[in-house]
Amino acid sequence: MEETLKKTIFSGMQPSGLPSLGNYLGALKNWAALQDDYNCVYCIVDMHAITVRQDPAELRERARNLLTMYLACGIDPEKSVIYYQSHVSAHAELAWILNCYAYMGELSRMTQFKDKARRHDENVNIGLFAYPVLMAADILLYNADLVPVGEDQRQHLELCRDLADRFDALYGDVFTVPEAYIPKAGAKIMSLQDPEKKMSKSEDENDGNVIFLMDEPKVIVNKIKRSVTDSGSEVRYAPDKPGISNLLNIYRAINGETAEEAERDFDGKRYGDFKAAVAETVVGALTPIQNRYEELAKDRAYIDGVIAKSAEKARTMAEETLAKARRAVGFPDR
């Protein structure tokens, strides 16, 4: 397909911890798959990450590692734009403009804000509150048609659409109103020992709950083996089997099977055999990514090159939309 006819995709991930299997199955895996059919822009949202206190040296290191992980997961810098949010100042500028069109009421209803404000009650800062407005700026700057994210971001996407509509109703056609692209099986991977909560890279004190993309095979096998054991003995989806349902989702998100096919694979099998098979599937998917990551991380010059080139491309794209928004609200030309 010709570049100009392709639709645009934008997505981002915070360098707030080591990337998890949830991040991979909910987002990263799809990002790589969509590259041939869309113009893709993938961001490392370090400005979002500082809404929670970070160690500066660690944040810088994690941002670089996350960029390396994007590449290891198959995102190709020749096809897609990969960059750090803080390298493109248009994000902060558009976020300020949009802040003046976002209401306290709607931001107060965001569940991620309510959760994080509860968990970090010593630091409920304005950035945490305005987080979804910055996210809207990210997406709208690139005229994204589609935004591949996990289920937890659906509400933020709705807010972004509302802001775009509100702005366009006042000033004409400035923004493209984006749609969420949420996968079927991988959209909400749950914590292994507490499958009522989502698997989170930075908000879980128990490492046993989270599979990190760089976990060694034996660690992955152990974490899955120790995951919650539901009542009963059949391997199938059921509301009273949240642990088994979660493992079935992980299995399917990797191999692309339907719910029925996955249940059939384990017909008559015991939980123990099932867990071993899921672990094998996860290890099989992550091993090549880990190997590529190790290779790429050694090539510092290559990574530096990707960073420099991509930021430049992103800046050019973002400036165009920012200029339209500046003009729309009545700022003098510069």
The residues of the shown chain that bind ligand ATP, judged by CB under 6 A, are 13-14, 16-17, 20, 22-23, 25-27, 149-150, 152-153, 186-189, 198-203
Q: Does 145 bind ligand LTN (CB under 6 A)?
A: no
Distances (CA, A) of 275 to 104, 185, 288: 46, 18, 21
Smaller CB separation from ligand LTN, 12 or 183: 12
Angle at 316 between CA 311 and CA 322, to 5 degrees: 115
In 3D space, the residue among 206, 211, 148 whose CA is nearest the CA of residue 180 turns out to be 148
Q: Does 29 bind ligand LTN (CB under 6 A)?
A: no
- 188 binding partner (options ligand LTN, ligand ATP, none; Cβ < 5 to 8 Å by kind): ligand ATP
Helix segments in the chain, DSSP class H:
21-23, 29-34, 46-49, 56-72, 90-99, 104-108, 111-119, 126-141, 154-171, 217-225, 242-255, 259-265, 271-298, 300-329
- 59 binding partner (options ligand ATP, ligand LTN, none; Cβ < 5 to 8 Å by kind): none
Residue that the structure tokens 């009542």 belong to = 231
Residue 188 bears catalytic tag: no
**DSSP string computed for 151-203:** GGGHHHHHHHHHHHHHHHHHHSS-S---EEE--SSSS-PBPSS-TTSB--SSS
CB-count exposure of residue 205 (10 Å: 0-12, 13-18, 19+): exposed
In 3D space, the residue among 296, 252, 292 whose CA is nearest the CA of residue 274 turns out to be 252
Q: How far is the CB of 45 from ligand LTN (least distance, A)?
A: 4
Q: How far is the CB of 253 from ligand LTN (least distance, A)?
A: 17
Distances (CA, A) of 214 to 19, 51, 148, 230: 8, 25, 22, 27
Counted residue by residue, the chain has a size of: 334
Q: Does 186 bind ligand LTN (CB under 6 A)?
A: no
What is the spatial distance between Cα 134 and Cα 305, in angstroms, rounded to a whole number? 27
Are 146 and 22 within 8 A, CB to CB?
no
Q: How far is the CB of 198 from ligand LTN (least distance, A)?
A: 11
For residues 271-310, which are near ligand LTN according to CB under 6 A?
Answer: none
Q: Does 153 bind ligand LTN (CB under 6 A)?
A: yes
Smaller CB separation from ligand ATP, 39 or 54: 54
Q: Does 201 bind ligand LTN (CB under 6 A)?
A: no
Q: How far is the CB of 24 from ligand LTN (least distance, A)?
A: 13
In 3D space, the residue among 319, 316, 314 whose CA is nearest the CA of residue 41 turns out to be 314
Q: How far is the CB of 291 from ligand LTN (least distance, A)?
A: 26
Q: Does 135 bind ligand LTN (CB under 6 A)?
A: yes
- 265 binding partner (options ligand ATP, ligand LTN, none; Cβ < 5 to 8 Å by kind): none
Choose, from 198, 223, 241, 275, the residue flagged as catalytic.
Answer: 198
What is the spatial distance between Cα 329 and Cα 26, in angstroms, rounded to a whole number? 36
- 94 binding partner (options ligand LTN, ligand ATP, none; Cβ < 5 to 8 Å by kind): none
* Site track 31-50 with ligand LTN (rule: CB under 6 A), x = hit: --------------x--x--
Residue 298 bears catalytic tag: no
Q: Does 12 bind ligand LTN (CB under 6 A)?
A: yes
* Catalytic residue annotation: 116, 198, 201
Q: In the complex, which residues of this chain contact ligand LTN (CB under 6 A)?
A: 10-12, 14, 45, 48, 135, 138-139, 147, 149, 153, 156
